[in-house]
Chains A and B, each alone.
Chain A
Amino acid sequence: MNLAFILNNAPLLMEGAAMTVALAIGALLGATLGGGVVAFLRMSRHAPLRYVATGFVEIMRNTPILVQIFVLYFGLPTLGVHMSAFTSAVLAMSLQNSAYIGEIYRAGLVSIHPRQREAALALGMMPGMALRVILLPQALRRVLPPLGNQLIIIIKDTSVASTIAVAELTQASKLLLDRSAAPYETFLTVALIYLAISAGVAGVLKLAEWRYPVRAS
């Protein structure tokens, strides 16, 4: 293990890591917000909205992220839509993970006993208020652990962006590997950087779980 080799190439890896963080932030925001929309539509009273959301979820989670990224990046220009590689990657990761996170949100909401909603309405709350004050706070506490898993998966999925020329951490490591033929030093360092980024997000979520524990309902 050659430590000097890693230190000499640290700037290249750090540039890649910064791009990975930017991709992850974009995709995390897109997916957590998009997941809310998906969950809302999946639980809608209007059947057509439910069908659309169900179709979206099935398409997104049953096709590989690589294919989705290629469709957005290489496919859309043939229809006259040109997005940058960065935007294509963030959008693809946001769309796919919206489907997963939407299902996580929905699972959290349906896990709250229906009588709680009935009780809230009986006390004179409007449906919106019952959702906001009674159901959502409890559901969000319950979804924190699976949500944390999904957010970490998103961070690791950012590596797929290297396939469409986004200069993120994996691409930087591939370039370094190609130049030096030093796979062990390169991959170990890159794994540690990914671990640090993921551990940061996992730590924040652990803190949130500790601060907002699930209470018996």
Chain B
Amino acid sequence: MFHRMSRLAGGLVALAMSLGLNAASAQESRLDTIVKRDKVIVAVSSTARPNGFIDENGKLTGFEVEVARLMAKALLGDPDKIELMTTTVDGRFPAVLSGKADFGISTATIYPDRAVRLAFTRPYIDSSTLVVVPKGSPIKTLADLDNENVVFGSTNSAAMVDRAKKYAPKANAIFFDTDSAAALALKSGRSTAWQADSAAVNFFVGHNGDEFVVLDGSLGTINNNAIFMKPGDFPLWLALDTIVREYVNGSRYGEYAALYKTWFGKEPPPQRPFNQN
């Protein structure tokens, strides 16, 4: 009887210890996991030129994909210590909230509703929304978009949907899963205007410049695109936010500027002025 009781007590102690260990490991930052794993898992897009796409050689690349490599370089000392997890627009947030990816870099605009359920670093790029129309289109200005004859295409993201309602309420707005499909709609005549992130628009017009033009001006405000992650992990958030700051505005600005120039053909916003006094 005593043996049975002591065995039971021993079992309970072991169970309690294992639960305690689990609780301790549940509190462990994902940053430690990344370091132990020696590889970072990042959710990126593969259908959003030029941010994340498959190039002519079948390689996943783009500005954001390369930013992801810069993050791996800063975290683990090697840009190739990375696993790129491609997701669609609707799969990017579940990818990090479910823990499948450590964080995501996927054209995510900081949006107050999102900030309740996601943690964002400071932005790694500003973006604005531009509108493309076919050459010779009767749509000459952004004001012309608010017309019943306009078929206004974009991705099915909250920011795009809100902008279509705000700036072109009379237009027939149509929303697609990906920028690729929205661009195809413009090319095939399904839509008469396409709103997209400035990077995507500049890339598209760069490759189809003789058929399409960008309307003057930006639709709506400047957006902040940022790295997103599961909330509640302060050490990881702090590390990512610090690294982003160092690339965009600090000690590693040179690498960031070179990458920016490669993908957008121009200099990024300058570092803040140095106060010599």
Contacts and interface: CB of A to CB of B under 8 A. Distances in A.
Interface of A: 73-75, 77-78, 82, 85, 162-165, 167, 171, 174-175, 177-183
Contact of B156 (A74, A75, A162): A162
A78 B190 CA distance: 10
Contact of A73 (B97, B190, B228): B190
A174 B97 contact: no
A162 B114 contact: no
15 contacts: A162-B177, A163-B176, A165-B185, A175-B156, A175-B161, A177-B90, A178-B93, A178-B156, A179-B113, A179-B114, A180-B114, A181-B93, A181-B113, A181-B228, A183-B93
Contact of A181 (B117, B153, B156): B117
B276 to A, nearest CB: 43
A163 B185 contact: no
Given A162-B177, A175-B161, A181 B118 contact: yes
Contacts, number: 67
B142 interface: no
Give chain B's interface secondary structure class: mixed
Interface residues of B, number: 28
Contact of B90 (A74, A77, A165, A178): A178
Contacts of A167: 175
Contacts of A179: 111, 113-114, 158
A164 B175 CA distance: 8
B111 A165 contact: no
Most chain A CB inside 10 Å of its own CB: which residue of B90, B153, B176: B90
Contacts of A165: 153, 156, 174-176, 185
Interface string B107-123: 00001011011100000
A179 B108 CA distance: 11
Interface in B150-180: 153, 156-158, 161, 174-177
Contact of B157 (A75, A162, A178): A178
B177 A74 contact: no
Contacts of A163: 176-177, 181
A74 B184 contact: yes
Contacts of A75: 188
Nearest to B184: A74
A174 B113 contact: no
Nearest to B96: A181
Contacts of B89: 174, 178
A182 B153 CA distance: 25
B233 to A, nearest CB: 16
State the 3 A-B residue pairs at the shortest beta-carbon distance, nearest first.
Answer: A179-B158, A165-B174, A183-B94
Interface in B71-123: 89-90, 93-94, 97-98, 111, 113-114, 116-118
B30 to A, nearest CB: 17
B183 to A, nearest CB: 11
A64 to B, nearest CB: 15
B185 A175 contact: no
A77 B175 contact: no
Most chain A CB inside 10 Å of its own CB: which residue of B98, B116, B158: B158
A172 to B, nearest CB: 9
B226 to A, nearest CB: 13
B232 to A, nearest CB: 14
A163 B184 CA distance: 12
A205 B140 CA distance: 55
B156 A174 contact: yes
Contacts of B161: 175
B271 to A, nearest CB: 31
